[in-house]
Every structure is written in structure tokens, then in C-alpha cells.
Amino acid sequence: MNAAPLICLENVGVAFNARVAVGAPRFWALEDVSLTLDRGDRLGVVGRNGAGKSTLLRTLAGIITPDRGRIARAPVTCQLLSLAVGFMPHLSGRDNAILSGLLLGLRRRDIEGRLPAILEFSELGDFFEQPISTYSTGMMARLAFSVALQVEPEVLLIDEILSVGDADFAQKSGAALRARIHGGTTVVFVSHSDRQIREVCDRAVWIEHGRSVMQGGVDEVLKAYHAASRAAAA
């Protein structure tokens, strides 16, 4: 049962168009990435800015199709934790929650069934029925996070964000997300913070110039990554 990996990348490369023009040059955001993800893994992704970490997440999510290499995935749902997807300013919080949920792959009845939970978690009260153009930044973050939390993929992909909002809500959203992460969900987590990677992950992969350089235990990978960074700086 545990034998086959959930997702397996072999020498995957992804190329983007540099400009919108016929025959415009392409650049390889991912050159050659190989990794395996097993059920229950909590994989951290480390690497410098522009190394291709976010592209890797979107490839895992199935948003980007690789231009070379192979990707094999078990039939599991795999989603990026995305905030405020498809939000429209003139719609109410309720309508935006439904629209966003549908865009994130939920069925209408699923998202309708979760509206009470969204309303409660976001603490928006009567504002839930108001257009989100009237919301403060903090209220917007509450709604966005509460909706995103309702999508419960089997593989959760997180790009930096572990919590949002003001101090109170940051505490609450962070706790909810950590509960999800440590509740057995398979997680891939991109972060620049060693502390967060150590806290969240049990394995790590190091990406450099679009290549997977090393995969292994968190401490071991972080140590090698920092050693290389220091060598490059010196």
C-alpha cells in the first residue's frame, strides 16, 4: 500500500517564454529536477531566490506541464494553498467564497456546506454579506485564508505562507494550518526560513539553478545548502 510514491519527478524541466513573440527565446526555470514524494511526507524545498522553487510547486500542483522529463502521479488531489483566488471586489464575502471554492476544485454543494465554517473561522459576522471592496486588509486576509483552508487536498503545497492577518488571526490561522500539516497530510513546503523548515518538515530537497542538488534529512540538506552559500559568498 505504501510502496508506490504519490508523485515522482524524473529529470523534469520547465521552459517559459521570455517574451510574447513568435519564435521568442525560452528560458528554463527548471532544468533537471528529480524527487519522490511518499504518502505522509513533509518535504521542505530550500534554495535561493529564482532557483525555481515556486515553479516546482506549480508543476507538482499540475498547473504547469513539464517540457521534458517524466512526472508520475498517483490519483490524488494536489493543491497549492492559494489565497483570494478569483476574488471579485464587488461581490459579497459569501459569493466570493463560493466562487473561490469552485475555482479551487470544490463542488458547489461542498463549498455551500462549508460556508458556516468559513463565516465562523473568518469572524466576519455581518460583513460576510457585504461586498469585499468594503473590507479592510485584515478582513480580506481572514476571508481569503478561511476559504483556502476549506480545500483539503491529499497533497498540500505551501509557498512561504504559514499564517496571515493581524497578530490574533496570525496566531489562529497558523495554528489551524499547523494542525492540518501535522494531521497526516502530505506536504511540500517552500520557505526561506530554516526555523520553519525544521518545524514543519521531516525531509528536504535543495534546488539550485533549476536543478535538484540534494535530497535527504532536513539537517543534512540545510547544512550542505548553507555551506555552499557561504562558499559562494566568500
Partner 1 sequence: MRLHLIELTLFATYAELRAERARSYLGVLWWIIEPAMNMAVYYLVFAVILKTSQADYVPFLLVGLALWQWFKSCVSHGGYAIWQQLPLIRQVKVPVQVFPSVQILADTMKFLFILALLLVILWSYGYAPNRAYLALPLVLLVELVFAAGAAYLVSAALPFLPDLRFVIEQVLQVLMFLSGVVFALDNVPQPLRGIFMLNPIAVLIDAGRGILMHGRWPNWGALGIVTLIALAMYALATLLLARLTPRYVKLPT
Nearest distance in Å: CB 19, partner 1:
6
Nearest distance from C-beta of residue 56 to partner 1, angstroms: 14
Query: In angstroms, how far is CA 31 from the centroid of its own chain?
Result: 21
**Residue 1 to residues 6, 78, 106, 140, Cα–Cα distance (Å):** 11, 19, 27, 42
- CA separation (Å) from 229 to 46, 98, 129, 225, 233? 12, 44, 50, 6, 6
Between 30 and 43, name the residue whose CB sits nearer to partner 1: 30
Q: How far is the CB of 54 from partner 1 (least distance, A)?
A: 10
Whether 188 contacts 37, CB under 8 Å: yes
161 is a contact residue toward partner 1 (CB under 8 A): no
> In whole angstroms, what is the distance from residue 162 CA to residue 46 CA?
16
Near partner 1 by CB under 8 A: residue from 103, 170, 213, 224: 103
Q: Is residue 74 involved in binding partner 1 (CB under 8 A)? A: no
Q: Which is nearer to partner 1, 105 or 217 (CB)?
A: 105
Does position 88 bind partner 1 by CB under 8 A?
yes
Q: Map residues 28-67 to x or -, x wherever contact with partner 1 holds by CB under 8 A.
A: ------------------------------x--xxxxx--
d(CA 5, CA 141): 35
What's the rounded Cα separation, in Å, for the pair 45 and 197? Answer: 8
Residue 89 makes contact with partner 1 by CB under 8 A: yes
